[in-house]
């Protein structure tokens, strides 16, 4: 990559820093020596202008609404690929041959069962526990069961841990749902697809035969693809930061799940559907648009806006199309879908949203599909975590293999009290 340099003039002294080119996208200024040279830090809360790493996994052009996984556009992957194939692509860097895909799928399939004692963890939770709380606890607990795949310096252990996490997340997620509704856990079935197996573990009951609906299986697989990875978002950065200390992969993914839960991030799909339900009818939309624009009102349009996309989130486009298809094929008419489409049209023509470049994001339509399929709202972010696990795992592997990676340890702008002496309590 061709390098040039940038000069920083501080108090008349010039400091030159290398400018590095990526294969596409913004250049970076390598400021790793800035503090040693100048005794100064950069200041960038929220990392709006900071590249935390070099990565070849996913590229987003926020202005053009482009999302590529290892160079392949997300709409092509969503329409033509499968979640297992996209998982292979993210992990290995290339689309698999037929034989490679079959081998990878077989490997993942054979890791879908969880240790039988892991089921006792669920008994400790209240039935009304939020399933994301269960996911944080149970995924973190995996490190207590798989001691043979926690040595991050052993490539084979990293690969096994990666496969275990991708394979077991659907089982753990389905068990969280079953526990919440008081139904028995359903074991994985090796004769079903990754996504079909998840649907069976979630919705089948011992009392009758469950047949995976291909329409739902296809929509679910597409939703998993749309959530697989997304550059250095908050939860991925959390996984990388946790991994930079040498923490085991199960603990790192549990940290990512915890971060994803926030309503500004993965929790937005649950919040967006709750918001649409609260709005309820098209005639109430203007009231909520006004609230979203009111600086004194903390209300935001959930499912709108993005740190990177200043154009339409390409995933939201696919999601809206899928929502249409699923509702039509299932013969479901959900009035909040009309509210969603009307809200989108009103917002996209409102000067506030136009000026701030606020468009629907991946979370705006996903809840409508998931609700139509039969998932309770509390499960939406669990499904996001299930799909994002392959992205977290791929990013974690990339970080560990990166010779430039060090333990993440940001500095700060200190604005607290300067040094002062302790005063005994009887003299205060």
Active site residues: 306, 363
Judging by beta carbons within 10 Å of its beta carbon (0-12, 13-18, 19+), is residue 39 exposed, middle or buried? exposed
- Separation between Cα atoms, residue 279 and residue 343, nearest integer Å: 10
Number of residues that bind ligand SDX (CB under 6 A): 22
- Is 361 near ligand SDX (CB under 6 A)? yes
Q: Between 118 and 259, name the residue whose CB sits nearer to ligand SDX.
A: 259
Q: Between 233 and 371, name the residue whose CB sits nearer to ligand SDX.
A: 233
Q: Between 306 and 317, name the residue whose CB sits nearer to ligand SDX.
A: 306
- Separation between Cα atoms, residue 361 and residue 315, nearest integer Å: 7
Structure tokens at 370: 């998931």
- Is 362 near ligand SDX (CB under 6 A)? yes
- Is 356 near ligand SDX (CB under 6 A)? yes
Nearest residue to the partner ligand SDX, using Cβ: 305
The distance of closest approach from Cβ of residue 93 to ligand SDX in the complex, given in angstroms and rounded to an integer, is: 20
- Is 368 near ligand SDX (CB under 6 A)? no
First to last CA, the chain: 62
In the sheet that holds 72-73, the strands lie side by side as: 58-61, 66-69, 72-73
Dmax (CA) of the chain: 79
Q: Between 101 and 336, name the residue whose CB sits nearer to ligand SDX.
A: 336
Nearest to 380 by CA among 213, 177, 183: 177
The distance of closest approach from Cβ of residue 280 to ligand SDX in the complex, given in angstroms and rounded to an integer, is: 19
Asked if 346 and 289 touch (Cβ cutoff 8 Å), the reply is yes
- Is 394 near ligand SDX (CB under 6 A)? no
The distance of closest approach from Cβ of residue 199 to ligand SDX in the complex, given in angstroms and rounded to an integer, is: 23
- Is 292 near ligand SDX (CB under 6 A)? yes
- Is 69 near ligand SDX (CB under 6 A)? no
Structure tokens at 240: 């990388």
Span of 22-30, 160-168, 193-201, 306-314 interacting with ligand SDX by CB under 6 A: 306-314
The distance of closest approach from Cβ of residue 305 to ligand SDX in the complex, given in angstroms and rounded to an integer, is: 2
Binding residues among 84-103 for ligand SDX as defined by CB under 6 A: none
Residue by residue, DSSP assigns 244-264 as HTT--HHHHHHHHHHHHTSTT
Interacting residue with ligand SDX among 259, 301, 319, 323 (CB under 6 A): 301
3-state secondary structure of 161: helix
The distance of closest approach from Cβ of residue 116 to ligand SDX in the complex, given in angstroms and rounded to an integer, is: 33
Structure tokens at 263: 């309503």
* Residue keyed to tokens 């915890």: 258
Q: Between 90 and 175, name the residue whose CB sits nearer to ligand SDX.
A: 90
Number of CB atoms found within 10 A of residue 325's CB: 15
Contact map string, positions 252 to 281, toward ligand SDX, x by CB under 6 A: ------------xxx-x-------------
Q: Residue 396 belongs to what H/E stretch?
A: helix 380-401
- Is 365 near ligand SDX (CB under 6 A)? no
The distance of closest approach from Cβ of residue 25 to ligand SDX in the complex, given in angstroms and rounded to an integer, is: 14
- Is 157 near ligand SDX (CB under 6 A)? no
Q: Residue 4 belongs to what H/E stretch?
A: strand 3-10
Asked if 285 and 345 touch (Cβ cutoff 8 Å), the reply is no
Interacting residue with ligand SDX among 303, 314, 340, 394 (CB under 6 A): 303
Q: Residue 58 belongs to what H/E stretch?
A: strand 58-61
Binding residues among 181-240 for ligand SDX as defined by CB under 6 A: 230, 233
CA angle, 118 then 119 then 125, to 5°: 105
Footprint on this chain of ligand SDX (rule: CB under 6 A): 46, 230, 233, 264-266, 268, 292, 300-308, 356, 358, 361-363
């Amino acid at each position: 990559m061709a390098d040039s340099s940038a000069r920083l003039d501080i108090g008349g002294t010039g400091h030159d820093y290398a400018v590095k080119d990526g294969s596409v996208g913004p250049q970076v200024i390598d400021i790793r020596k800035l503090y040693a040279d100048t005794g100064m830090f950069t200041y960038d809360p929220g990392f709006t202008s900071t590249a935390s790493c070099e990565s070849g996994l996913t590229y987003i052009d926020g202005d053009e609404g482009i999302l590529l996984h290892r160079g392949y556009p997300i709409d092509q992957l969503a329409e033509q690929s499968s979640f297992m194939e996209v998982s292979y692509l993210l992990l290995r860097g290339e689309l698999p041959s037929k034989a490679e895909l079959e081998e990878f799928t077989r490997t993942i399939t054979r890791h879908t069962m969880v240790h039988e004692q892991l089921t006792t963890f669920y008994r400790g939770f209240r039935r009304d526990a939020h399933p994301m709380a269960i996911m944080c606890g149970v995924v973190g607990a995996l490190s207590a069961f798989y001691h043979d795949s926690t040595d991050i310096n052993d490539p084979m252990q990293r690969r096994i841990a990666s496969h275990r996490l991708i394979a077991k997340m659907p089982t753990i997620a389905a068990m969280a749902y079953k526990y919440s509704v008081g139904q028995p856990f359903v074991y994985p079935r090796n004769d079903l697809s990754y996504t079909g197996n998840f649907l069976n573990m979630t919705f089948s009951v011992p009392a009758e035969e469950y047949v995976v609906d291909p329409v739902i299986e296809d929509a679910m697989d597409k939703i998993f693809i749309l959530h697989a990875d997304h550059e250095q978002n908050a939860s991925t950065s959390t996984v990388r930061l946790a991994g930079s200390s040498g923490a085991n992969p199960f603990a790192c993914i549990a940290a990512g799940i915890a971060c994803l839960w926030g309503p500004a991030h993965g929790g937005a799909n649950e919040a967006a559907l709750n918001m649409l339900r609260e709005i309820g009818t098209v005639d109430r939309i203007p009231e909520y648009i006004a609230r979203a624009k009111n600086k004194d009102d903390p209300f935001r349009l959930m499912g709108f806006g993005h740190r990177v996309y200043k154009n339409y989130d390409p995933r939201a486009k696919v999601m809206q199309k899928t929502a249409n298809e699923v509702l039509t094929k299932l013969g479901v008419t959900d009035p909040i879908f009309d509210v969603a489409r009307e809200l989108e049209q009103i917002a996209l023509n409102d000067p506030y949203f136009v000026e701030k470049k606020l468009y629907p994001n991946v979370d705006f339509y996903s809840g409508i599909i998931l609700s139509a399929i039969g998932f309770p709202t509390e499960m939406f972010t669990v499904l996001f975590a299930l799909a994002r696990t392959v992205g977290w795992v791929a990013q974690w592997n990339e970080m560990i293999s990166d010779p430039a990676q060090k333990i993440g340890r940001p500095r700060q702008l200190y604005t607290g009290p300067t040094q002062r002496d302790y005063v005994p309590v009887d003299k205060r």
